[in-house]
Amino acid sequence: MSRPVPVVRHPLAGSLEPVRLGVRWRQGEDAFFGEGRLAPGGVAVGPWRLAVAVDAEGDSASYDVDVSNAGEEAMELEAVVLGFRWRGPDTSHVRFLRHGWQSWSTTEARLLDDAGEPAFPSGPWLRGMWHALGEPPADRAGWHESDLCTAASAGEAALLAGVLERGRSFGVIYLRRDAEGVRVEVELRCEAPVAPGATRETERARVALGDDAQALLEQYAEEHGRLAGARTHAPFRAGWCTWYHFFHDVTEDDVLRNLEALAASRDEIPVGVVQIDDGYQRAIGDWLEPADTFPRGIAPLAQEIRAAGFEAGLWTAPFCAVSGSRIFQDHPEWLLRDADGLFRGLLHPMWTPDASVYVLDASLDAVCEHLESVFAQLVEMGFSYQKLDFLYSQAMRVQGADPHVSRAQRLRRGLEAIRRGCGDRAFLLGCGCPLGPAVGIVDGMRIGPDVAPSWETDAPIRIPGCEPTQPATKNAVRNVLNRMWMHRRLWQNDPDCLMARTDDTALSTDEAATLAHSVAASGGMAIFSDDLPTLGADARRLVTETLDLARRVDAGAAAGTARAAGFLKEAVPAGVVARTLSGGVVAAVNAGDVAVDRVLDPATLGLAGVEPLQLTLEPHASRLMRVPGRASLAVFCDMDGTFIDKDVGATLAQEYAAERRPGAWARYLAGEMTAWEYNLEILDGLPCSEEQLEDFLRSIALDPGATALMDWCAKRGVPFRVLSDGFDYNLDRLQELLGVRFEYDANRLRYEGHVWKIEAGPSDASCFCGTGVCKARCIDELRAARPDAITVHIGNGRVSDLCGALAADVAFAKDSLADELWGRGVRYEPFDTLHDVIAGLEAVWDDPHSIGS
């Protein structure tokens, strides 16, 4: 029999051959497996007819399969199997990513040995909390298992196999070596009845070969994100939450005390989110009813958080209910059931005396309507940031009231109901969530187990063999480093809370720093949870530095730039190398229990001229190094009328403060007030609601050359920063709406009721500009750190842009700024769009001596 024609080829990684197309199904109590040839077109497998579509090009291929029941009675479609063989490279030593099913599931590099997936120390119910399958098929003995996707390396050759899940089915990937290479099989777990003549769509599967396993994962995530409509443009989230200091014992007073401290420390510790975690509710499931420790309820707290200038966040476990909850007592028919009665999704002794936690059944329309209503009310209270926890409970292996809704669909339905209730603007953070079905619904995703006040797990209930999935700082670091490729491709990665304090924890100073360095260098969300009023100076400094660096790494490009050092070589990678707009970051990590030597090379990010970092790390220790970029330029760009096509503040003032503008402007021109005092008179208290502002922001477009300018800078390692005398609220929302991301300096805007309250940004009383953001100050700060850099300012207005243009080495100007500079006899480069600026920057890049010539 002739060998199949490869569907994927790569000059280094060899080829991938289609081997078989299989179907798993049930009729009554009987289980069946049939197989046929994996090829495009129609294929018959037992009583099933499969339509296979293949999109293959070079080193990757995508498969879409529709399955029809050609029999005369309904059958349970368990799974569709796509089987391949990887040929070509030396496969005697293959390492692969064992990717976990949900947020907390172990994700690490393993050796592809002959033993296969390690046996689980307990039964299917417990295994089903962390794996897509509580009990693998019997014929998978000796196969290694990975959920959603995997990447493997054989020397320099790399393989990817993954499923682009959208809530139809779960994907499980199996691998094993054989005499001819590596067998790779993708199982699409459909798990639903199919009536005679009916057809069921499966998820798209992707396979690829290359010479960089991380690059293959990044490409896979980008494709998955595009197909599922990933929400990747929400502004970077930094925040504080109650959990890792107060845990279940949090009170209203604890929140208020920290809120006051956060407001007082805004310039030192710039967080945007204040989130109340578990402990505020009367009972699990009754999210609108507060505990006695919150005597005023939670709505007043949301308003006080917002009035202080922060985003109000709230934790829920939306699918969970305990027997003492009102929803359990009023609607037992809404709960998932198995053969023994009510289905338990988890055991949690802190929530209820018997530890039993039950699960709402999102296959029911009534449950989805309930979820939509509850979250609409929470957002109406002011909680626009929602942390959704224990989401895996909805997707465990139990049949819902509607058997035609698979558990992947059930999870997707529940999440969609929450999104409808919250609206498009709310930030949804998934936690303990099977990852695939959440793409396109959540804005952020926890990608590791809970951190803990200890390096190894100190959980009160230790489950032998499950330690890698339980709360522990080591476990969190492991998953953060192995899942960085997801960041800004599927969502914002949430590495879980930084724990900066060590005085009342079992963490050493080195261990706390290793967590902080991993969070910062990954560029993911940065949340801390220490009691701020009691936090010491060193711990506060660690929080400040972590928040700042994570924000800078996140802003480094449209997608995440952080990459694991030594990916797939160890269970926990050796560290992180990430690009920022002004250079890069190298973090070396030793998660092991003995000292190691590390070598990390910044050249892997194109940061030339920087020597590799060589050092010895003690157990659980790390080292962080900021790498300056080699670029000789630094670019600063105005926002309103330059980077975007409209002036937000001026346009809204004209509409909502028209009667005050002429008099205030005359006083400004007469020198009776500064530019910032003019802003205060016109914009502070502006009666423009969030809805009205949103409508206006949606009308704004980027300058035609805006993204090209950022790309030009990113490719050359040139720092790019927006300097705006506008407001952070608007810049954050515009980044989300316009699909861009950048570092910026701006004034602060918050709402009190439906009116604006504004505060100045980095101003300078000694500068003639008198603006809230002194652009000359921002440029001078960069020049002090990088005296060799040629500074460039781009702007269009004579008020806020003039001092920046005069401070910079090169000024690009148009409109009233160009007129002002011309009148002063100051040289400038004219432009119409930012495309013109790129051409000018090219000249400076090629010949810095061209300035002034």
Decide if 175 contacts 146 (C-beta within 8 A): yes
Q: Classify 92 as helix, strand or coil.
A: coil
Q: Find the helix packing angle between 661-669 and 675-683, rounded to 10°.
A: 170
Angle made by CA atoms 757, 265, 729, in degrees to the nearest 5: 35
Q: How far apart are CA 595 and CA 733, in angstroms?
A: 46
Angle, CA 136 vertex, CA 131 and CA 137 arms, to 5°: 155
Angstrom distance (rounded) from CA 283 to CA 289? 8
Contacts of 119 (CB under 8 A, 6+ apart): none
Burial label, 126 (beta-carbon count in 10 A; 0-12, 13-18, 19+) = middle
Nearest 5°: the CA angle 42, 21, 161 is 120
Strand order in the sheet with 492-494: 492-494, 444-446, 427-430, 383-388, 311-316, 273-276, 238-241, 526-528
| 8-state DSSP, 731 | H
Q: What share of the chain is helix, strand, coil (3-state, %, to 5)?
A: 30, 30, 40
CB 607 within 8 A of CB 630: yes
Distances (CA, A) of 452 to 446, 448, 594: 15, 12, 21
b/e sequence 821-853, b meaning 16+ C-beta within 10 Å: beeeeeebbebebbebbbebbeebbeeeeeeee
| 389 catalytic per annotation | yes
- Say which DSSP state 449 is in: P
* Cα angle 338, 340, 342; round to 5: 60
Which of 389, 443, 640, 703 is catalytic? The answer is 389
CA 242 from chain centre, in angstroms, equals 21
Q: Residue 650 and residue 647: Cα distance in Å, rounded?
A: 6
Closest CA to 171 of 131, 140, 130: 131
DSSP state of 333: G
Tally Cβ neighbours within 10 Å of residue 619: 15
For CA atoms 551, 555, 556, 557, the dihedral sign is positive
Q: How far apart are CA 417 and CA 744, in angstroms?
A: 35
Q: Is 729 helix (H, G, I), strand (E, B) or coil?
A: helix
Q: Which of 152, 151, 172, 161 is nearest to 205 (CA)?
A: 161
Q: Which of 59, 450, 494, 732 is catalytic?
A: 450
CB atoms within 10 A of CB 632: 14
Kindly give the pairing relationship between strand 108-111 and strand 144-147. Answer: unpaired
| 249 part of the active site | no
Kind and range of the H or E element at 380? helix 365-381
Q: Are strands 337-338 and 181-194 parallel, antiparallel or unpaired?
A: unpaired
Alpha carbon 761 to chain centroid, angstroms? 27
Are 195 and 187 in contact by the 8 Å Cβ rule? The answer is no
> In sequence order, what DSSP letters do the residues of 103-124 get, joined into one string?
TTS--EEEE--SS-SPPPSS-H
List of residues 6+ apart from 534 with CB closer than 8 A: none
At a CB cut-off of 8 Å and minimum separation 6, what does 305 contact? 259, 274, 311, 312, 382
For 188, phi then psi, to 5°, come to -100, 105
Residues with a known catalytic role: 389, 450
